[in-house]
Amino acid sequence: MRNPVLVRFVPALLAVPLAFASAAQAQVKLRDGTVLPEKPLYIETAPAAAGQAAALLKKQSADNKKEKGNLRSEALQRVGQKNHFVLLEAWADKDARNDHAKAAHTVAFRKALQPLLYNPYDERPHAGLVHGDPMKVAKGAGATLYVVTHVDIIPPEQFPPCKRQVNEKGPCGNRLVEQLAAASRKHKGNLRFDALTQTNRPNHMTVVEMWAADKDQEAHQVTADVKNFRDALSGLVPGSGVAGDPLFLLNPLTGSLYDERLYKLID
């Protein structure tokens, strides 16, 4: 059995609040009967000053690594928007996370961060749909590229029959994401490719990627695996890119854009 993990996201000034949050809840049962165990936890906040936020996140990440039950802690800064950040944490279990939440350094971190926020401190628990062992995931380095993407599958399109898909028998939303993860893990330079499900809204997911270098992620983006996934997610025939009917309007399986955000490690 995999260890439950906690992952936090903290993008900064002008970031769209996409935070994920506090205490772990019950297991998640999807409409097709799949039961996901309690696993990741995410937090995303919006600091008002990049320099101050970066210093706070780096210190918090370093302090996290000293705590009992911590499996990973990574502070990230967004590529192209230096005032956006992500803090990824992994904990051995819920008790370790709860102790961490009460730790003096965490209390101090939240207190110092509060004046920099323009949106509430928002946390949302997640469970692992396709998830690797955090202890076995390679450590990031300066060249490592992290990618974090929010995926919003319209509930009727998660499992067959999915009316917006070319073939209603599927693969439908969840299976498409699972297939993308399986294929992407085989691509050159991939260090991590996880798909995580929000426990209180199982049709909302977060995809977390790690690549050895920017060029590896760029090459991955133009593979048939990714192109076919993006077509299918948009309700198009995989490999087509566009609909044959010029009056056709995209009828995607998702309720939001597949919004990839790129980050680099700062601690």
In a domain, 241, yes or no: yes
Mean pLDDT of the chain: 81
What's the CATH number where 179 sits? Answer: 3.30.70.100
More confident residue, 52 or 209: 209
In a domain, 67, yes or no: yes
pTM of full prediction above 0.85:
no
Q: What is the mean pLDDT of residues 124-142?
A: 84
In a domain, 15, yes or no: no
More confident residue, 250 or 233: 233
Q: Which domain holds residue 150?
A: 28-265
Task: Express as a percent the part of the chain with pLDDT over 70.
Answer: 79
- Mean pLDDT comparison of 3-12, 115-124, 246-255, highest-scoring range: 246-255
In a domain, 10, yes or no: no
**Amino acid at site 201:** R
Q: Kindly report, residue by residue over 184-216, the tens digit of the pLDDT.
A: 999 999 999 999 888 778 899 989 999 999 999
More confident residue, 244 or 227: 227
* pLDDT over 80 (residue 162): yes
State how far the Cα of 113 lies from the Cα of 184, in Å rounded to an integer: 35
**Amino acid at site 7:** V
Q: What is the mean pLDDT of residues 44-66?
A: 81
State how far the Cα of 259 lies from the Cα of 144, in Å rounded to an integer: 19
In a domain, 16, yes or no: no
- Cα-only R_g, the chain: 18
* pLDDT over 70 (residue 4): no
Report the domain count for the chain: 1
Sheet holding 190-198, edge to edge: 38-44, 122-130, 190-198, 201-211, 145-152, 259-265, 70-78, 85-91
* pLDDT over 60 (residue 20): no
In this prediction, residue 126 carries a pLDDT of 73
* pLDDT over 60 (residue 220): yes
* pLDDT over 90 (residue 245): no
In a domain, 212, yes or no: yes
State how far the Cα of 242 lies from the Cα of 259, in Å rounded to an integer: 20
In a domain, 37, yes or no: yes
In a domain, 239, yes or no: yes
In this prediction, residue 222 carries a pLDDT of 96
DSSP state letter for 153: B
